Amino acid sequence: MPTKRYSKDFGKKAFGIQIKPVMAKANFGNYSVTERMSASFNDFSERFGGKVFLVYSLDSEISNAEVLPKIKTEIERLSRL
């Protein structure tokens, strides 16, 4: 399953979600995914004002559900801008 990218805009602001298979998380070994992608995430945040979130999928289920409240908080924050 390839990485899927989504974004939601709030006028000139947006946040992003990258959906990756759980195997992608394992393939990075000791490297933090956020470190490897921090440059592109920072570029997105500077351009659109919102964060980028990684969602890991296993059999069409979210395996890191702890990210969902963070996404909700970001939606609420961007909605107020």
The pLDDT tens digits for 17-75 are 988 887 755 555 555 656 767 888 899 999 999 999 988 888 888 989 999 999 999 99
Q: What percent of the chain has pLDDT over 70?
A: 77
Which amino acid, 26? A
Q: Can you say whether residue 15 is alpha, beta or left, with left for phi > 0 and alpha for psi between -120 and 50 degrees? A: beta
Q: Are 54 and 33 in contact (CB under 8 A)?
A: yes
Starting at the edge strand that comes first in sequence, how are the strands of the sheet with 4-10 ordered? 4-10, 13-21, 49-58, 61-62
